[in-house]
Amino acid sequence: MALGGKLVPFAGWELPVQYEGILAEHRWTRDSASLFDVSHMGQVEVSGQDAAGQLETLIPASLQALPKGRTRYAVITNDDGGIVDDLLVTRRADDVFMVLNAARVDADLAWFRSRLPALAFRHRPERALLALQGPLAAAALSELAPAALKLAPFAYGEFDVGGVPCTFSRSGYTGEDGFEIGCDGTAAVTVAEALLARPEVRPAGLGARDSLRLEAGLCLYGNDIDAGTSPVEAGLTWTFGARRKAALGVPGAARIERELAAGPARRRVGLLPEGRGVVRSGAAVHDESGHETGVVTSGSFSPSLGVPIAMGYVATHHAEPGTALQLDLRGRQVPARVAALPFVPPRRHRQQPA
C-alpha cells in the first residue's frame, strides 16, 4: 500500500481496486501502460507423462499441438457442458503452466486431481503475477527486458528484470498489447518498482482492469461464464480449434456438440443501453413486447466510449447486433441495442475476443 491504493478482500486476498481513480487508470492503460498486481491469480505447474495430452481430456483446446513457449486461452468444461473455469495454458520446456482464476483454484485443482491422478499439479501461491498492459508496454521493457520485446502475441519466455528471474507471457485482459510477468513474491516489489520507474508506466487497480476487459468483450468468470454456461453460449468455441471441435472428448461434450450442431438457446452478446444510467450485472433483459429474454452479466460505464456498456445472455433470436431490447434499471425499462463485441477494438497482440 505504499502507492496509496484502496484494498478490498477477495477470495482470501487483499486486492488493490484503485490508485489514482478508475477513469484515469483506464485511460492511461489505453494511452500508455499500466501495471496491475494480479498475484491473486492461481499459478499452477503441471508435470507428468504426456501432460498436454492428458489435459486435453478436460480442456477442449489443441494443447498437444501447442508448441513449447506458446500460450493459449481455453476453458475447462464440466459434466453438464458448463465451464469450470477459463484459463491461460502455456507449454513450457519441461511442464505445462496454467493461470487460473483466484476464486476457482481450489475447485480446479480438485477437478484436475480427481480426473487426472497420474499428473502432478503444483500450485505456486508464493509466486507474484504482474500485468503490464497498454500500447507502450513493450517500450517500457525496452531497457529492463529487451528480449521480451521479441515475444510474439501469446508467446512465453523467461527473462530477468533488475536481476530477478521472471516468466513473461505476451497476453493480458485489457485488449491492449501487454505482458503478464511472474516472479517470486519476495522479489515482486523490486520488479514492480523497476517497471513503475519508467515514465510510461503507472499503477492501476482491479476497478480499471474490469472496465478494460468489459470494453474488450472478455469474460469474467462468475459473471459472464460459470458452471451453467456452455462455451457455445458464451461464444468461446474459437478456443477449441478445428481438430478438437471435430472430436471433443471432454466432460459435457454431448451438450456442447448438440449446441454446436443446432445452435444454443441463448448467446452472450454486448448491450448498449440508451442514456447515461449504468445497467449492472443481474438486470433482466426484455424484448420489445416485454417478454423476458435474458440477463445482464456485466455492466459498467465505458471510460473509452463515455457511455454505459453491458454484456449478457439473450435468446438466440434476439442476439443479432442491432436488435432492440429493454433492460431493467431501478424498476424501469431502458431501451438498449445488441452490440457486436468487443466494444473497443483490441489493438495488436491481444487475446482473441469472442
Partner 1 sequence: MQNYRYTKDHEWVTVDGDVATVGITEYAQEQLGDIVFVEMPDVGRTVAVGDEVAVVESVKAASEIYAPVAGRITEINPALNDAPETVNEDATGSGWFFRIQMTTPGEFDQLLDEAAYQALTGGS
List residues binding partner 1 (CB under 8 A): 17-18, 21-24, 26, 207, 211, 276-278, 280, 300-301, 303, 308, 330
Which residue lies nearer to partner 1 by CB, 7 or 315?
A: 7
To which residue does cell 445497467 refer? Answer: 279
Query: Nearest approach, Cβ of 31 to partner 1 (angstroms)?
Result: 16
Query: Nearest approach, Cβ of 292 to partner 1 (angstroms)?
Result: 22
Q: What residue type is assigned to position 209 of the chain?
A: R
Query: Nearest approach, Cβ of 322 to partner 1 (angstroms)?
Result: 24
Query: Nearest approach, Cβ of 165 to partner 1 (angstroms)?
Result: 36
Which residue lies nearer to partner 1 by CB, 82 or 205?
A: 205
Query: Nearest approach, Cβ of 232 to partner 1 (angstroms)?
Result: 31
Which residue lies nearer to partner 1 by CB, 280 or 347?
A: 280
Number of Cβ within a 10 Å radius of residue 5: 17
Which residues face 221 on adjacent strands? 225
Which residue lies nearer to partner 1 by CB, 123 or 280?
A: 280
β-strand 284-286 against 266-273: which pairing, if any? unpaired
Which residue lies nearer to partner 1 by CB, 6 or 115?
A: 6
Which residue lies nearer to partner 1 by CB, 15 or 59?
A: 15
C-alpha atoms less than 13 angstroms from C-alpha of 325 in its C-beta half-sphere? 36
* 3-state SS assignment for residue 306: coil
Residue pair 195/140 in contact (Cβ under 8 Å)? The answer is yes
Query: Nearest approach, Cβ of 10 to partner 1 (angstroms)?
Result: 14
Residue pair 128/78 in contact (Cβ under 8 Å)? The answer is no
Query: Nearest approach, Cβ of 207 to partner 1 (angstroms)?
Result: 6
Query: Nearest approach, Cβ of 157 to partner 1 (angstroms)?
Result: 34
β-strand 332-339 against 292-302: which pairing, if any? unpaired
Measuring CA to CA, how many Å separate 279 from each of 151, 164, 298, 300? Answer: 39, 44, 8, 7
Which residue lies nearer to partner 1 by CB, 24 or 295?
A: 24
Which residue lies nearer to partner 1 by CB, 7 or 24?
A: 24
For residue 72, which of 50, 87, 58, 83 has the smallest C-alpha distance? 87
Alpha-carbon distance 203 to 201, whole Å? 7
Tabulate helix, strand, coil % of the chain (nearest 5): 25, 35, 40
Q: What residue type is assigned to position 249 of the chain?
A: G
Which residue lies nearer to partner 1 by CB, 21 or 199?
A: 21
For residue 106, which of 88, 85, 92 has the smallest C-alpha distance? 85
Q: What residue type is assigned to position 23 of the chain?
A: L
Query: Nearest approach, Cβ of 294 to partner 1 (angstroms)?
Result: 21
- Element of type H or E holding 33: strand 33-37
CA trace torsion 7, 10, 13, 15 (10° rounding): -30
